[in-house]
Chain A
Amino acid sequence: MDSRRTRSSTRRLLYVLGSSLLLLAATLIGIFLLRDADMQRDQNNRQADTINGIVTRDDLLVSVNAVEPAFAGAYVDESGVLQIWLTNPSTEGAERAQAELVRINSVQYSTRDYIIHRAQYSFAQLYRWKEDLGTLHLLISELTSVAISIPDNYIELGIADAQKRLVELHAELKRRNIPQNAVHVEEESPVSGFDSPS
């Protein structure tokens, strides 16, 4: 009778121990899987800021210059017409440039109609000068923005209190052999994120 009771108690103990081990194993597996999912998410999140080497619109447009050296920029207006700028306007040049734009980004530049405009500087030239100005903010701390304006065919600089820094800017442009008419300065206050303390 006693031995039967002892066997029953042992079985109960083994059952409890076994269940506990199973529970522990399941918990560890769960934690591992969650951690794996988190790591996967983090890996996705650290996706490089580039698609096939192209980071920005400007990277995309400058690659067109390899096919059409006269290319100076393009965009599709809201009515669906491709506006295209060339330093040496020609139908052939426009079509070559459009074909390359479509090859790189077929969705956005695939239009039937286009209008050709004359430009002084190629996009590649403006792009190089913009890159040259990559340290300008160290000289002019009020620099708020830098962009290539396609329709205006110049580099646009936003500077807070622009008038005060024009002399310095012009000297810097001269030092870097960037023509003054290739750069346009606009008064622009510092840009801030539009979150709000509340």
Chain B
Amino acid sequence: MVPNRRRSGRVRNHPKSANSGSRMRTAMVAFTLLPAIIAFEESAVSATPATSADYRTSETADGADSDDLYVQVNKKVPTFGGAYWNSNGDLQIALTRPDSEAGKDAAFALREIVNSGVDVAKPQIAHAEYTFIELKEWKDRLYGLHQAVPQLVSTGITQSRNRIQLGVTDSEKNRAVIVENLDQLQIPRGAVLISEEAPIQALSELNDRHRPIRSGLRIRTPAEPGGLFTRACTVGPLAVNSGMTGFVTAAHCSRYQGEVDHEHYYQPGPDASVISPPFDRIGSERKDPFLSSSNCPYAGRKCSTTDANFVQFEPGTSYKRGTIARTSSGTNWNGSNVYRITSKSDTMEGWVVRKVGATTGNTAGTVLNTCVDFHSDSPNPGITIRCQVRTWMHADFGDSGAAGFGLTNSPNTNDVALRGILVGGSNPGGVGNVYFTKISRIQARMGTMTVCASGFSC
């Protein structure tokens, strides 16, 4: 019996959730490492008598962050100015009035409040000019600074330098405005370091909403009437076909494979539980080559040499033809890195085909055979797709439609030749046989597809 994953009710984790977790973990790791990183740029801090400050963090913070924890240490040790690890891994405790007893108290407080792994045996004492509570209070006063300095990128307390650190793009241009604000807020100029920092680009992924539309992004069709699930696939190569602009994807992604059902496609939604905004609808199916039993050498089945359809963009949809999202790892994508399509041709045995699928991202594999007839009963029964390219690579449910391409690096790095689109496989989620419909067959069935980036004719 052929397993039917729809009937089996297989539940998969939403890729987006999984990756959000991964991003969170990355952030936590980075945060944990921060003291060690800062230790490399440690510098002596001047010894100045401490000034007391009101503890107001608990009134202003919207949740416990690491600054709050160090404020608690400061409450136990009034001269505490911060703690960090130097390049030898030794704990350094900065105090406004250095003495070994206060140092030990601070170490114990750190172990109790911040990190149970703190070695309290031999803390090294450094001089601090400001208490941590002072720095925290001044930092909180700077919450509105971004309005005066739109190029402010980050604000933080650098404990190794016992200062507030502002990361600013075009820092020299903005210095005068910042100093003016410090004076108005009664923050000592000496307590603030201004450093140059480029704007931070938020990481996103292929499952997020992106405009312009590019190949590699997540698309979904609406749930079937009464059904819970939408079908999730991947935007294939963007193309101009018969005067229409749109994209190619796998025909089985639409409700009726082999007939033009004018199925609507959304990027990234619609979500099963959310009413998708109308502007997320990016196109409707316009071509879906028919399946034939009369022209099929396999008795009782319907055949086609393609599993591809053409979706015309909705008017006003922003798109960038000839580009494929180039992911860094998995499905994380910075929204700008792309492969550029500069040619198109079929692949042959032994060549390498690459794809960017919205579920498994950027993977590649070797072509094992360029003319395999495969019988498939999922998602639609009784269909044989003839003369497909068989590769050996990693892919999964949701990758259908992804552009298959070869890296040519011609004329430039990351330029590619389009080979076809991904249509299925026999080992979902793992490495195994993955099938592609050839670009030549897509064109034979639906007419010429103009797929290249501007400046190239193909």
Give the B-binding residues of A (Cβ under 8 A). 41-42, 44-51, 55-58, 75-78, 83, 107-108, 131, 134-135, 137-138, 141-151, 156, 158, 160, 188-198
Contacts and interface: CB of A to CB of B under 8 A. Distances in A.
B140 interface: no
A156 B374 CA distance: 11
B81 interface: no
Listed from nearest, the 4 A-B pairs whose CB atoms lie closest are: A196-B397, A56-B387, A197-B229, A196-B398
Given A158-B426, A190-B376, A194-B396, 11 more contacts: A44-B446, A45-B289, A45-B446, A49-B445, A55-B305, A78-B352, A83-B349, A145-B374, A192-B379, A192-B397, A195-B400
Contacts of B397: 192, 194-197
A190 B428 CA distance: 10
Interface stretch (B28-36, B50-58, B157-165, B364-372): B364-372
B250 interface: yes
B299 A44 contact: no
A188 B433 contact: yes
B232 A191 contact: no
Given A45-B260, A51-B444, A144-B374, A149 B423 contact: no
B295 to A, nearest CB: 6
A147 B232 contact: no
Contact of A195 (B233, B301, B306): B233
B171 interface: no
Interface in B246-296: 250, 252-253, 260, 272, 286-290, 292, 295
Contacts of B396: 194, 196
B49 interface: no
A141 B207 CA distance: 37
7 contacts: A45-B287, A49-B305, A190-B2, A195-B231, A195-B233, A197-B397, A198-B14
B377 interface: yes
Given A191-B424, A192-B428, A194-B425, A143 B260 contact: no
B422 interface: yes
Interface residues of B, number: 80
Q: Say whether chain A's binding surface is mostly helix, strand, loop, or mixed.
A: mixed
B375 interface: yes
A55 B279 CA distance: 40
Q: Which of A148, A190, A196 has the most CB of B within 10 A?
A: A196
A58 B378 contact: no
B425 to A, nearest CB: 6
A193 B141 CA distance: 56
B12 interface: yes
Interface in B1-24: 2-3, 5-6, 12, 14
B26 to A, nearest CB: 24
Contacts of A107: 345
Contact of A191 (B233, B298, B351, B375): B375
A188 to B, nearest CB: 5
Nearest to B377: A190
Given A45-B287, A57-B371, A192 B444 contact: no
A50 B399 CA distance: 28
B289 A75 contact: no
Interface in B67-92: none
Given A75-B348, A78-B350, A188-B426, A147 B390 contact: yes
Given A198-B230, A198-B272, A193 B369 contact: no
A195 B287 contact: no
B349 A77 contact: yes
